[in-house]
Structures are given as structure tokens and as C-alpha cells.
């Protein structure tokens, strides 16, 4: 007599299914990692575009008025943040402060943001600027040359000495994703120089 033959049923074995699931998981991990890197790159590019826009606005203000955007009491190189402490500076560049920007020229063109991240933030009424923030929610830092010697020396926490920038009236930077000036966990500051 013939022994009964075992027929294999159609379908996949448990081992085959596990191998396929592991391959899919590995590919998904690689895809997510690449996607996060691209998102970070896009945020850095957006931050640099705004920083260069601020730099250009300050240079245009200087060309138009022959002075730096301030109330005239500043001396030397001064750092202005674009958070609540630097609202007057922003209003000058936006043409909203006509005491200093007498022609009311809108020198700074930036998008409006939400929740203190990635853009120009207004108060709840929508009438008053409360700050300009980078994609990570931190303010931009702007060093202005109030002594008009065309040299600024922004110092960072990671630098032993300030970086001397000859031929510039303004330097703008963002502290990046880690929010730490200079090195931090990673060198991620966005600078216009």
C-alpha cells in the first residue's frame, strides 16, 4: 500500500510572514529617518531665508535713512532678539513705527505664524506684533552696527572670541533646533555669515 502523501496547503508559513514583516519594518524605519532629515533641512532653509530677509531689511533701512533701525540711543554693536523684547525693532522694519521709519516703508516681508513658531506672531486682536520666531519656536538674534564702523562681532557660547565680520552692518542667527547658542547637542545654528 501506498503511504498517504501530505499535501501542502496554499499560503505562507509563519516564518515567511515574519521575514516579510521584518523587511517592511526595516524599510519603514529607513523611510521615516530620511523623512525626518528632509523636514529638518526644510526648517533650516526656511530659517535661513527669514534671517537673510531680516538682514536685507536692515540694510535697506540703512540705505533709506542713513542710520540703523533704533531710537538713536544705542551705541556700539547691540543684539536685538525678535521675541517680545524686540517688538519695537520689528515694528520699524514692518513700517508700523512711523516715528523712526517716517515713510512707513514695509522693509520686512515674512509669513504670519501660529503659536510662537515659524513666523510673525500677532496678539489675539491681530493688531500688535508680539514676535518673529524660527521654525523651532525660538527668536532670531540680530546684531546691529550702531557705531557705523561696518564691523560686527557676534559671539557665540561655543566661540572663545567673537567672529569679526568686516564690511557688514548686521548679522542674524537662529539657535536652531536645540535652542542653544553655539554648539549645544549638535552644531545646528543658522547664520547669515
Mean pLDDT by 10 residues, the chain (193 residues): 67 89 92 89 91 94 90 78 89 91 92 78 84 90 86 61 77 85 71 87
Q: What is the pLDDT of residue 45?
A: 92
Residue 4 lies in a domain: no
Burial 145-173 (b: 16+ CB within 10 A, else e): bbeeeeebbbebeeeeeeeebeebbbbbb
Residue 9 lies in a domain: no
Q: What is the pLDDT of residue 91?
A: 93
Residue 51 lies in a domain: yes
Residue 25 lies in a domain: yes
Q: What is the pLDDT of residue 8?
A: 63
> For residue 85, what is the DSSP state?
G
End-to-end Cα spacing for the chain:
89
Residue 10 lies in a domain: no
Residue 138 lies in a domain: yes
| Three-state DSSP class for residue 86 | helix
Please give the biggest Cα pair distance in the chain: 110
Residue 22 lies in a domain: yes
Residue 1 lies in a domain: no
Q: What is the pLDDT of residue 157?
A: 46
**Separation between Cα atoms, residue 175 and residue 191, nearest integer Å:** 9
Structural domain of residue 148, as residue ranges? 15-191
Please count the structural domains in the chain.
Answer: 1
**Separation between Cα atoms, residue 185 and residue 77, nearest integer Å:** 28
Q: What is the pLDDT of residue 179?
A: 76
| Helices of type H across 66-193 | 87-93
Amino acid at each position: 500500500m501506498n503511504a498517504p502523501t501530505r499535501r501542502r496547503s496554499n499560503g505562507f508559513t509563519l516564518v515567511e510572514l515574519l521575514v516579510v514583516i521584518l523587511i517592511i519594518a526595516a524599510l519603514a524605519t529607513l523611510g521615516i529617518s530620511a523623512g525626518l532629515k528632509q523636514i529638518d533641512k526644510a526648517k533650516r532653509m526656511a530659517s535661513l531665508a527669514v534671517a537673510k530677509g531680516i538682514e536685507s531689511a536692515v540694510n535697506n533701512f540703512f540705505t533709506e535713512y542713513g542710520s540703523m533701525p533704533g531710537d538713536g540711543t544705542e551705541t556700539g554693536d547691540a543684539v536685538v532678539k525678535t521675541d517680545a523684547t524686540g517688538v519695537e525693532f520689528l515694528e520699524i522694519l514692518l513700517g508700523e513705527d512711523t516715528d523712526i521709519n517716517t515713510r512707513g516703508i514695509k522693509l520686512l516681508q515674512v509669513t504670519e505664524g501660529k503659536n510662537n513658531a515659524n513666523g510673525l506672531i500677532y496678539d489675539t486682536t491681530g493688531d500688535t506684533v508680539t514676535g518673529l520666531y524660527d521654525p523651532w519656536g525660538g527668536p532670531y538674534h540680530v546684531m546691529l552696527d550702531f557705531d557705523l564702523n561696518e564691523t560686527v562681532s557676534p559671539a557665540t557660547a561655543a566661540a572663545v572670541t567673537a567672529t569679526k565680520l568686516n564690511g557688514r552692518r548686521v548679522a542674524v542667527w537662529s539657535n536652531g533646533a536645540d535652542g542653544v547658542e553655539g554648539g549645544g547637542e549638535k552644531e545646528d545654528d543658522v547664520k547669515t555669515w
